[in-house]
Structure 1
Amino acid sequence: MATLTYVYADSTAVLGPLAQHAEPHCYDLCEDHANRMSVPRGWSVLHIDRSSTEVPMDHNDLYALASAVKEAKEAPELSPEGALERSGSGEPIAPTSADGPRRGHLRILPPKG
């Protein structure tokens, strides 16, 4: 993981460790995109060593995210008529699309390596 920042006035892009705070004009990149990143002609790239600045993962943040996703999943969704469609057992019916039933889009991925 890396954070990309840039300064138009200097035509410089900085690729460094993952930022701890949200900043304007910063983009968090996965390892693959950080390694393949290129800049426009005439720009320079400043690479800051990301391996020595690894921040330990805070499990509280991960649990807070998991709890928020779980709460959102369990919260009743209102249909346009204000009621959920229910199956014969009284359980809400998951919305479907042409691609099949809707699934949550957040997942925990195992670390590379």
Structure 2
Amino acid sequence: MPRLLDHCPELRLAHDLVRQFATMLDNRDATPLPGWLNDLAHSGLAPIAGLARALHEDRHAVAQGIRTPYNAGVNEGRITDVKLQKRLMAGRASVPLLRHRVVLIAHLRRHYADRLPSELSL
């Protein structure tokens, strides 16, 4: 990775910006957020500048998300499960079967959530 970053300055810049954001999340400190958004906007990388505009519009929610330990990760995971099953079963099965599969996936997630990755290897 270091060699790759040394050969591509754009990738190095993106990597550094991501690491700065990760530090904010780890420390639960949103104080550097305005400066970080400014760095994003002036990075010279179009996709990152677009991200900066979107985050700037919702900067208060982003700052609150950094500061608080609460998140919607569990809900997002469940929504992803439902969407995946819906796509896999598109037009092939009924709503009760979709409901059954989603409940089964939720049960399996709870069952295996407390296990270490080494315990799950085959």
Structure with higher strand content = 1
Q: Which has the higher contact order (CA 8 A, sep 6+)?
A: 1
TM range (shorter): under 0.3
- Determine which structure has more spread, i.e. the larger CA radius of gyration: 1
TM-score by length of 1: 0.26
TM-score by length of 2: 0.25
